[in-house]
Amino acid sequence: MLYFPNCLFCILVIKLRYIEKRCKNITVGFLQELYYNLKMKDMPLCERPYEKLEKYGPEMLSNAELLAVVIRTGNRNETSVAITQRILAMNRADGGMAFLHDLSLEELRTTKGIGRVKAIQIKAVMEISKRVSSAFIMNNKVAVKSPEEVSKLLMEELRYMKKEVFKIILLNTKNYII
């Protein structure tokens, strides 16, 4: 069989053949551990987050891959993608990545492979996403005609609050926000 050095399947086959000679019982957990212990440079170019984003665009990346681009590096034992998959597994409700807004720096740091700087990077990106979303709405002059429009204006800012907050919106005579 012909092997290609940067083909993920070929790398797994080579490792499995080596292990087969020494061990008769190969479990699924072992295969998963083998996959997650691959280094980023051992992965095919088309499966690496940076190259995938560059070639196909950010919408083609999974949540774990997008977060892996933010934290940049893994550790000695795991790739950045494996670490971010463990972070995303902390989500008890299936709300995508929104639960990251609620996590504190300390909670992020409990994940093996996430230290002070990586936790700060994740929280900074979540804050940027919130600000971009609310800035787009607030920069457009909007005449407020219904409570639903007020809700749309303030939803991003208030969505992740843990306490009830009271806000006042001042309008001019034509119902534009002052």
Segments making up each domain of the chain, as ranges: 141-178
Q: Which of residues 4 and 96 earns the better pLDDT score? A: 96
* Cα distance between residue 104 and residue 151, in whole Å: 26
SS3 call for 41: helix
Collect contacts of 98-107 with beta carbons under 8 A, ≥24 apart: 98/160, 100/126, 101/126, 101/130, 101/159, 101/160, 102/160, 102/162
Give the alpha-carbon dihedral of 113, 115, 117, 118, to 10 degrees.
40
Which of 19-28, 134-143, 161-170 holds the top average pLDDT?
Answer: 161-170
As beta bridge partners, residue 176 has: 143
CA-wise closest residue to 92 among 104, 105, 82, 103:
103
CB proximity list for 157: less than 8 A, separation 6 or greater: 130, 134
Count how many residues are written for the chain. Answer: 178
- Backbone angles phi and psi of 177, in degrees to 5: -70, 135
User: What's the pLDDT tens digit per position in 118-140?
Assistant: 999 999 999 998 888 777 666 66
Which of 30-34, 66-70, 97-101 holds the top average pLDDT?
Answer: 66-70
Calculate helix-pair angle for 63-71, 80-88, nearest 10 degrees.
Answer: 120
Residue 153 burial (CB count, 10 A): 19
Q: What mean pLDDT comes out for the span 164-170?
A: 89
* Cα distance between residue 49 and residue 58, in whole Å: 9
Residue 19: pLDDT over 80: no
